Structure 1
Amino acid sequence: MAKQKLSLKDNKNIALVYRLQTAEAVTLAKKIAVWLKEKGYAVYTAPQQKAIAGTKAITTQANLKKMGLIIALGGDGTYLRAVRILEGAQIPIVGINMGSLGFLTGNRAEDAFKVIDETLQDKMDLRPRSMIHTLIRRKGKVRAEFHALNDVVIERGSGSHLISTAIYSEKFLVSEVKADGFIIASPTGSTAYNLAAGGPILHPEAKVFVVTPVAPHSLTSRPLIFPDDLQLSFKTDSRTRVAQVIVDGQKEAELTPDDELVIQRSTYDHWVVRSPSHNYFNLLREKLKFGDRA
């Protein structure tokens, strides 16, 4: 996937997404809003949060799609919320880390103005990241549909029983597995819940998914990597009353034995803003201590 240059010459609309209920994020958002307006940019506050003083609140998806850039101030959860708000709109996001890990929001808060200024001067690259398209079908009819940057998780509901799930690839049975749940992760999401559950790290430009069972009942149930041009489907059996579907950390739906959960690569890519000198393996070493000796 080829990188592109980011240019805001023809679109001076910028929206802010900030970490909710965090005074530091609100304070920084206010300072950035004033600074951007002084530079001649139109500054907006993205939906689902209180408008920052001096900015305009975005109230419709149509208005949101007019933005040239999103600035996310917070942790990875804030970044994923910004992606979710976009609903597939291919608007680049620059992330400023005000959380703990900050794998997606890779820029430090103290560097915020420098990073944003370099972005405005067209000194940054846009790098595409594949997304996951998920739909839930019941008796042939689509009843829910989602896009995820990181992962889609199927986990057991309020009951204590394992989830018995059949996994299919292009309608061919792959495996029948009993587990606490399943993680379907994109390359971007491979360093999140997937990694914690024992799944592999995928290079962010790899054209694959990984399916990782959570606490499987069998020792032979291991993570599986699939080309992302395949369609995967998951069906729970009658012993699983209800399972939960979690999309990028947010509960979105319930899955019953009458449902089929279908996974495929989204037709949308997400564009991340990166410095031309950005190196993914340096990020792994910095954030995850990858390769460090114990």
Structure 2
Amino acid sequence: MQIAIVASETDAAQTAAKALAERYDAVAPREADVIVALGGDGFMLRTLHQYLDLGKSFYGLKLGRVGFLMNQFRDNDLLARIKRTHPATLHPLEMRVTTSNGEETQALAFNEVALLRQTNQAAHVQVTLNSEVKLEELVCDGILVSTPAGSTAYNLSAHGPILPLDANVLALTPISPFRPRRWRGAILPHTTRVGFHALDPRKRPISATADFREVRDVLKVEVSQSREHAVRLLFDPEHNLEERILDEQFTP
């Protein structure tokens, strides 16, 4: 087994990466069987985006603040640990955006696609599912579509549901909704095409974010799960992602 070592910019991650690369004769990501990422969840997301097209497996070691997608850091028995891992396949969301000036942008998100107000005024958004209007007008700070893997991140902070990894569903969660007052979101089949339309883009501009990629002054956004793209994350048996998502539902 050949591994590549990539690391965040922190001193701890860089020091550990140098030691691991020497110990295990690390190769370049393109030549590796497994890409080992040292850092936190944010760095893992950037690593997935950067090396998605290589079709490699990814194994994270936590050397950052948040490590839901990572395994506990230990600098010994790395190859043996990787051989015992449980894989989890993640399909990202695909975001297609049209801005107020007519520009079109596409981006992928492994956690969520989020729409957020750009000013102090609430956003007014129309919500469609498979081109059918479901909410004529949502007045809110924002709204997001989350994958199961991302359901314990921003989605959970916005009081959205935690989704089992193999449930084949997405979470549609409003952020500080004002109207309709009692609408708390929806759980959608993973095949759903979710559409958002800014109802007052000049007075109430909205931005759209796919993981860390932001587009401002959006007019309309379509979100769907990409079946063409997938990544395989590796987890130690005692820290597999499905168990973590399950356990999170019982965390006080």
Which category of TM-score, normalised to the shorter sequence, fits these structures?
0.7 to 0.9
Q: Tell me the equivalent position of 2:186.
A: 224
> Is 1:234 aligned to 2:196, yes or no?
yes
Q: Tell me the equivalent position of 1:189.
A: 150
Cα pair distance change 1:247/1:112, threshold 3 Å: farther
Separation in 2, partners of 1:113, 1:264:
40
What per-residue deviation string (whole Å, max 9, x for no partner) do you get for residues 152-203 of structure 1? 111111x211111111111100112111011110000000010011000000
Separation in 2, partners of 1:179, 1:186:
21
Which residues of 2 match residues 12-91 of structure 1 at below 5 A?
Answer: 12=2, 14-20=3-9, 22-37=10-25, 42-44=26-28, 65-91=30-56
Separation in 2, partners of 1:207, 1:285:
15
> Is 1:269 aligned to 2:230, yes or no?
yes
Q: Tell me the equivalent position of 2:123.
A: 163
Amino acid at match of 2:209: I
Amino acid at match of 2:152: T
Q: Tell me the equivalent position of 1:210.
A: 171
Query: What's the offset of the Cα at 1:131?
Result: 1.3
Cα pair distance change 1:144/1:210, threshold 3 Å: same
Separation in 1, partners of 2:103, 2:190:
21
The count of corresponding residues between Structure 1 and Structure 2 is 247
5+ residue gaps, structure 2, are none
Query: What's the offset of the Cα at 1:243?
Result: 1.4
Query: What's the offset of the Cα at 1:211?
Result: 1.1
What per-residue deviation string (whole Å, max 9, x for no partner) do you get for residues 202-250 of structure 1? 00122111111110113222121111112111111125542122221x2
5+ residue gaps, structure 1, are 1-7, 45-63
Amino acid at match of 1:217: F
4+ residue runs of structure 1 moved beyond 4 angstroms? 276-282
Query: What's the offset of the Cα at 1:87?
Result: 4.3
Q: 2:115 touches 2:208 (CA, 8 Å); kept in 1?
A: yes
Separation in 2, partners of 1:94, 1:19:
14
Separation in 2, partners of 1:112, 1:94:
13
Separation in 1, partners of 2:142, 2:56:
32
What per-residue deviation string (whole Å, max 9, x for no partner) do you get for residues 17-45 of structure 1? 2121x1111110001100111xxxx523x
User: 1:99 pairs with 60, 64, 81, which one?
Assistant: 64
Cα pair distance change 1:182/1:205, threshold 3 Å: same
Amino acid at match of 1:33: A
What per-residue deviation string (whole Å, max 9, x for no partner) do you get for residues 31-60 of structure 1? 1100111xxxx523xxxxxxxxxxxxxxxx
Separation in 1, partners of 2:238, 2:86:
9
Amino acid at match of 2:96: L
Q: Tell me the equivalent position of 2:72.
A: 108
Question: TM (normalized to structure 2)?
Answer: 0.88
Q: Tell me the equivalent position of 2:105.
A: 144
Separation in 1, partners of 2:213, 2:229:
22
Question: TM (normalized to structure 1)?
Answer: 0.76
